[in-house]
Amino acid sequence: IAYFLDFAIAVNDLGSDFKGSGKSSSAADKVVNEIRAKGGKAVPNYDSVEDGEKLVKTALEAFGRIDRSFVRISDEDWDIIHRIHLRGSFLVTRAAWNHMKNQKFGR
């Protein structure tokens, strides 16, 4: 969270259960509250990431503009984003793989 205090953030989380169903705002709300408590700016968004337009609309309505252009992002910032999203997904999936294989199920 400390890394994001210099930014205004739209936190997106559908809050579904392990089966991918249901919906809860509590996960996104918790992160937003933590960022705000530390002095950062954040708004929750509960739409699917499949609908990027709604996420962008949330950010624009809350902050008036989007400041960080993809073409201007530093290598260091890209590495952080990459490590969190892509590498994080890979590591969790790899750790779960043998369990899913043994269960013959993994959705």
pTM value is 0.52
Residue 4 has pLDDT above 70, yes or no: no
> Can you give the three-state secondary structure of 5-70, one letter per residue?
HHCEEEEECCCCCCCCCCCCCHHHHHHHHHHHHCCCEEEEECCCCCCHHHHHHHHHHHHCCCCCCH
What integer pLDDT is reported at residue 3 of this predicted model? 45
What's the one-letter identity of residue 34?
A: E
Q: How far is CA 78 from CA 52, 69, 86, in A?
A: 19, 12, 11
- For 51-105, how does the pLDDT look when each residue is reduced to its tens digit (9 = 90+)? 889 888 988 998 888 876 667 778 898 888 888 888 888 998 899 988 888 888 7
φ/ψ of 103, rounded to 5, equals -80, -15
- HEC secondary structure over 88-105: HHHHHHHHHHHHHHHHCC
CB 58 within 8 Å of CB 10: yes
Q: Give residue 95's pLDDT.
A: 92
